Structure 1
Amino acid sequence: MPTPELRFDGRVAVVTGGGRGLGRSYALLLAERGCKVVVNDLGGAIRGDGPDTSVAQSVVDEIVAAGGEAIANADTVATPEGGRAIVQAALDAWGRIDVLIHNAGNVRYGAIRDLSYDDFRSVLDVHLLGAFHVVQAAFGPMCDANYGRIVLTSSVGGLYGNATCVNYGMSKAGMLGLNNIAALEGEEHGVRCNVIVPGAVTRMAEGLDISQYPPMEPELVAPVVGWLAHESCDVTGEMIASMAGRVARMFVAETRGVYRPRWTIEDVAAASPAFHEKGEVLDFGLHGHVDHIGYSFAMARSEIAEAH
């Protein structure tokens, strides 16, 4: 028996940054599977300036030519008003929003000591604040409908760091917090939120030597995002990496840790090798806030009990 095709018939998606690269691949794939798509893109240069509304429209034209339904939107994610307008475009056109993929981005390089504040804020406004603007706008309609799929975009440059990318790294690391809270608040309303950590050769790789890269087309990432956006997706609050054909789960983990009833600075220094030991790694998952506290309390109670 062939595997049933996972389709999006009757669903409506918003894809920010949908005019080029990864976003374009997401929009085309969803539309191919029956989804109605709002293709949002300012059409700007890699730094985010020089808007061109034809960029989003060109993707819409591709979708329509293939028999799908889509509309273009050129509002900015960088302001609350823009975020609301992007989501409202879906509501006005089709009366619902089922999927939100926040992919819009810009790049402005600079070391911490040299980066201008304008360049710092520009990247945060699009990546991180932009994510909040569209998530907040979509969250109410999704919760009211008791259904929603949100996919945010992080990066290995945020989760592991990369020099001269402090604005980008902070934005992409901050996506983890938004993801967790949206997943927790959406849990009882059928709204799931996850993060894609993609690796693909797009215009964001401008200036890099990619001569030794394996195949890394955006089309390798799109099916992973498609699954995260589908009603059958059974995970929430997670980070899924997709790079060069490899798909993996990424997560925050802890070592077992060390308990003492009192600590001095010298005690901490002496215990450092023990609490850095990765032999036993704890993965608390979506409810890690509560489970971390519970685990810490349980260790303290156990050690106190043994001492007596």
Structure 2
Amino acid sequence: MLKLDAQVHVWYSDRPSRPWDPAYRQTNRDRSSFLQHAGQTNTPEMVLAEMAEAAVDGVLLTTLGVYGVNNELELAAAERDPERFQVIGVVDHTDLALADQLAAATKRGLLGIRVPQMRDPDRIARGEFDDVLKVCSDLRLVVMLPAVNKQVFNLIKRTPGVFFYMNHLGVGLAPPIVGFRHEAPFENLPAILELAELKNVGVKLTGLPALSVEAYPFRDIWPPILQVVAAFGVDRLSWGGDYTRTAGLHSYWEGANYLAEVQGLSEEQLAWLYAETLIQRCGWKRSAAFV
């Protein structure tokens, strides 16, 4: 079965030849997530090796942010190997040249964007992101949203020309590292289910086994997954591994294969979860190798 991972990060350790954005270190040094990136490296070549072990066919390289809003590492990888890599970039929504930049990036493998500032409901309410969303609508780029807040419903409803994805089941938690598991990781699930009535929003099942307290196949997270499947339908859901965050909790192979163990999911549904939704919603070009 074809598997396309909806989220993998690549980066190099902070080094003179490829320095990090100083603002990233300053902003994140006190956050647990920073521990996963400081002093570590995950190159596109390393991703290919992990993909081969986990039987994953392609990945969306999702810009991490250690280089600010620079997506060059990801776009260059997609140009070199477009059958395996496509890109979700991070952008500065205030950049006056953004429309031209995104148009050029789509020719190099860009399928969508994320804007970290969309966490702020007040900025959404002010219409601060309307211009960048218009560009995304024109270019048919998907937009990744970090979490539900009081303005997300209205944002999605008033932007019918854009397909949005809620990251990490939309629960507002990136996959935790060892020792940082949230006590109630699915407490925001009802708010996610309410979004299902809006047809231009989907959910990424990225890194979910990290929220489990059980070993593979992570049966304790099956119920919320099945709730989301029932509410949204598999044509709005995409699997993702996010393995650089979860490697301390389970293997990439386990993260890539547990859905096949979930009782109640058919082979046809799995085909959509693992690849077809990403192909249809993001515009991933199905190559001859994947037919």
TM range (shorter): 0.3 to 0.5
TM-score relative to the length of structure 2? 0.35
Higher relative contact order (CA 8 A, sep 6+): 2
Larger radius of gyration: 1
